[in-house]
A and B are shown apart, each in its own frame.
Chain A
């Protein structure tokens, strides 16, 4: 997660001035949100699944050390290799080392937020290895040198015409090519990437401790190509992705897919357990699992924020968030945007974005209502706001609050002060105070009423 050039305040202030961006975001998020409501309503036991999933996640996180060791043993027993990465650098270096040892020059990737988080593509390129993103949206992100702006719809901020222009330059399609021509060109281009890749890199939607299985949920079939054609498969996953048993997928798959895309089930669900076994017709010769911590242990040890690790990255909270809809994903300055991103980014990094991300919310609670795990995002945003209040940047606010508290505890003095304030009001209004200018940019200070409320109430 590279630091953003500007904070959320500035970036979102710019984004709201772009009506085309807002229209593009609204079209996709409204569509996803409506479909989510439809397909969750048709499952009478959807709320039962949610409660069950919550209990499984709480139990798994409370025993994460045990389940991770079980997972490691299960993957090794099936002939796979397991690597542990403490932070982003270790994770990226580990994948680079695996690729080097495999003699890889080109690698094919399927969509993975954790590889964005650890900036794997940059590390690979610096090592002289060419990564090709094979998810259509991520491919567009890659050739335009952009960043994903939504957890599952990475180019939600781009219009069809933007993509047509990109493809004209990179793939030679006509400038006015209709969408089927564009997707066909991408398909032909990516087919070569699958065939030429020495290593395939994926994320993981779930990891099953009992069997050592990597579960991939997708609609384009590219993840299946990435895990079946190249000789080596590397799966990169955050340590919170583990589930105890294979049967838990019966709870989590419908929750994830219905909350994410509003489908009953995604077009492809792959369960990959170790490298190609004897007698199997496809699959890699070698399988590596890279387990990434990168701040997750710290979040696990934090009772107030631990719940954020239950997130399955479905993006339902983004699609209902009034702030996300207006600000767009890039404003959050992190691969994780929207309400859950506003919690995850400061939590995982130990404070990046703490001064503005917790405030990127009206605390309306829509995110908590739609979350399949019922993650109480507003509660965590308030907890983070309290922490932001303890930073050096907030020292003047702290002092002002202390003075106000002192005054409000002394009724007689307060009455004197309220008289004095009425006398001084015209003067105070005219003094331009530098520190208050930013505060006053969007607010109007109300006029004091001629009679204080406590006097009017007594009458």
Chain B
């Protein structure tokens, strides 16, 4: 997915999903920041 859409950030509200998504993307060598909604609201 990420190879085609070229997003910069992936945002989710589910911590469990984020852990898996970040882990999976990282292991496939896809550079994509995975953030929790709180991090976006918090301005990071």
Interface residues of A (CB under 8 A from B): 440, 442-446, 449-451, 453, 456-457
Interface residues of B (CB under 8 A from A): 18-20, 22-24, 26-27, 34, 36, 38-39, 41-44
Could you tell me if B20 and A442 are in contact, using CB atoms closer than 8 angstroms?
yes
> Across the interface, which residues of A come within 8 angstroms of B26, CB to CB?
444
> Across the interface, which residues of A come within 8 angstroms of B38, CB to CB?
453
Q: Can you give 10 A-B contacts (C-beta < 8 A)?
A: A442-B20, A442-B23, A444-B19, A446-B18, A446-B19, A446-B36, A453-B41, A453-B42, A456-B42, A457-B42
6 additional A-B pairs beyond A446-B18, A453-B41, A457-B41, beta carbons within 8 Å, are: A442-B23, A442-B27, A444-B22, A449-B42, A449-B44, A453-B39
Among A442, A445, A449, point to the contact of B39 (Cβ < 8 A): A449
> Across the interface, which residues of B come within 8 angstroms of A456, CB to CB?
41-43
> Across the interface, which residues of B come within 8 angstroms of A444, CB to CB?
19, 22-23, 26, 34
Among A443, A449, A453, A457, point to the contact of B23 (Cβ < 8 A): A443
> Across the interface, which residues of A come within 8 angstroms of B42, CB to CB?
449, 451, 453, 456-457
> Across the interface, which residues of A come within 8 angstroms of B27, CB to CB?
442
User: Cα distance A446–B33 when bound, in Å?
Assistant: 10
User: Cα distance A162–B42 when bound, in Å?
Assistant: 57
User: Cα distance A307–B14 when bound, in Å?
Assistant: 29
> Across the interface, which residues of A come within 8 angstroms of B18, CB to CB?
446
User: Cα distance A444–B17 when bound, in Å?
Assistant: 11
Q: Which residue of B lies closest to A362 (CB)?
A: B17
User: Cα distance A121–B43 when bound, in Å?
Assistant: 65
> Across the interface, which residues of B come within 8 angstroms of A446, CB to CB?
18-19, 22, 34, 36
Question: Chain B nearest CB: distance from A185 CB in Å?
Answer: 46
Could you tell me if A442 and B34 are in contact, using CB atoms closer than 8 angstroms?
no
User: Cα distance A415–B26 when bound, in Å?
Assistant: 30
User: Cα distance A440–B27 when bound, in Å?
Assistant: 12
Q: Which residue of A lies closest to B18 (CB)?
A: A446
Question: Chain B nearest CB: distance from A441 CB in Å?
Answer: 8
Question: Chain B nearest CB: distance from A190 CB in Å?
Answer: 47
Q: Which residue of A lies closest to B17 (CB)?
A: A362
> Across the interface, which residues of A come within 8 angstroms of B36, CB to CB?
446
Question: Chain B nearest CB: distance from A429 CB in Å?
Answer: 14
User: Cα distance A445–B20 when bound, in Å?
Assistant: 9
Of the listed residues A443, A450, A451, the one surrounded by the most CB atoms of chain B closer than 10 A to its CB is A443
8 shortest interchain CB distances as A-B pairs: A456-B42, A443-B19, A443-B23, A444-B22, A444-B23, A449-B44, A453-B38, A442-B23
Q: Which residue of A lies closest to B38 (CB)?
A: A453
> Across the interface, which residues of B come within 8 angstroms of A453, CB to CB?
38-39, 41-42
User: Cα distance A456–B41 when bound, in Å?
Assistant: 9
User: Cα distance A456–B38 when bound, in Å?
Assistant: 10
Could you tell me if B41 and A443 are in contact, using CB atoms closer than 8 angstroms?
no
Q: Which residue of A lies closest to B39 (CB)?
A: A449
